[in-house]
Amino acid sequence: MAQATFETPEHLREFFFAMIESLPGGILLADRQGNLLAVNRKAAQLLGLAGCSLQNKTCWGLLAQKIGLTHELAALSLSGGRLLCEVQASNGGAEKRCILISRNDLQSPFLHVAGFFLSLEDVTFPALMEMHLDRSKRFAAMREMAEAMSQELKNPLGSLELYASILSRELAGDPDNERVASRMLGAVRTMHHLLDNFVTFSGALFPRMKELDMVAVFRKSMETLREMAGEHGILMESRIETGQAYLFGDQALLGQLLLNLGLNAMESMPKGGTFSLSLRTLPPDREHGGLVEIRVQDRGAGIAPENLQKIFDPFFSTKGRNRGLGLAISHAIAEAHRGLIEVESEPGRGATFRLLLPAESVAGTGTNRKKDARADV
């Protein structure tokens, strides 16, 4: 193999920048004071630098401007430092990306060559997966508890229901005491029903997978939700931003998932208001295949930061008597379809739930399908 030669410093410089541009990750190259020397295309894309002038800027000033952090950048002051942060998506959308920034100092035998480079890696999907797996472990413990609780309480609850029924019949001629007995019987039956729900949740889901067009599933769920919203004086807006969105899934379970997310939005607005649902497809990239994305956005009270990682836990609720199983079951259904649910919220400004499901590969089906189209429902 012939050795590369560089006849002039310009040739060496050209090779150097070609190498940086070819790297799969983002690179910010700086001198020892932090003044920017080079930024490759991937870094510009991750930080949304299109149209920005980088002359006479430091990497610290650039990062502070783009990620909105100042004191946190101290984590990158030494070689080997790492910082996980969020940046706005480069396409100008509302979603954010998780970026891992790592510092590496330049090693050179020449004293006049010194500096460092920051590598940037998009870890959005792996970060979501880590939270998802964390949550799955908590679910497993909750399911074991529900199963054990059902075994312990089924028999005594059955006996209480029998005795309350007998007492109610024997007090048929005493209206006051009969009313008390009837309330006791109703309470026991309510407990029995809740226990049945817990047992259902504790069991493993076995979805009946088949090819589905999520646009059709979405439309059907929207019809039901629009009727329910109207009964509570709530306005529902919906939007489909794709012609067809194919995936493999269980139609009944995915329909239930959409209803749960819609009902959760309604419950967050007890005094009425407007919530919206949208569906679109996301194209494949290097990290994962194509995705079907569904967003549910409400204008309710929002979720406190300390509760954001709890709302998908079984039985957790901030809505009084609501049992907190709707979002937990939604998570279980998404998990059974190899999908994810994430949430963004700010107290007083509502919440946005984002469902991501793996899309079916159009190329693998051998069929011709419509390209993206925009349509209001």
Q: Is 145 helix (H, G, I), strand (E, B) or coil?
A: helix
CA distance 21 to 25: 9
Q: What is the pLDDT along the chain (377 residues), one digit of tens a residue?
A: 455 555 666 776 777 778 888 887 889 988 888 898 888 888 888 888 876 777 788 889 888 888 877 778 888 888 888 888 888 766 555 567 788 889 988 766 655 557 888 988 887 766 566 666 666 666 677 667 767 777 777 778 888 878 888 887 888 888 888 778 877 776 776 566 456 556 556 666 678 899 999 999 999 999 888 888 887 789 999 999 998 899 999 998 898 889 889 988 988 898 889 999 999 999 887 667 889 999 999 998 898 888 887 888 876 776 654 456 778 888 888 988 989 999 999 888 899 999 999 998 544 443 344 444 344 45
Burial 217-234 (b: 16+ CB within 10 A, else e): bbeebbeebbeebeeeeb
Domain borders along the chain are 9-122, 129-202, 210-376
Whole-model pTM?
0.50
CATH topology of domain 210-376: Heat Shock Protein 90 (3.30.565)
Q: Which two tokens stand for residue 355?
A: 């469902």
| Buried residues in 301-310 as b, exposed as e (16+ CB within 10 A) | bbbeeebeeb
Fold topology of 9-122: Beta-Lactamase (3.30.450)
Report d(CA 278, CA 40) in Å as an integer: 35
Backbone angles phi, psi at 362, to 5 degrees: -65, -40
Residues 6+ positions from 1 with CB-CB distance below 8 Å: none
Phi, psi (5° rounding) for residue 181? Answer: -65, -40
3-state secondary structure 264-276: HHHHCCCCCEEEE
Backbone phi, then psi, for 353, in 5-degree steps?
-100, 135
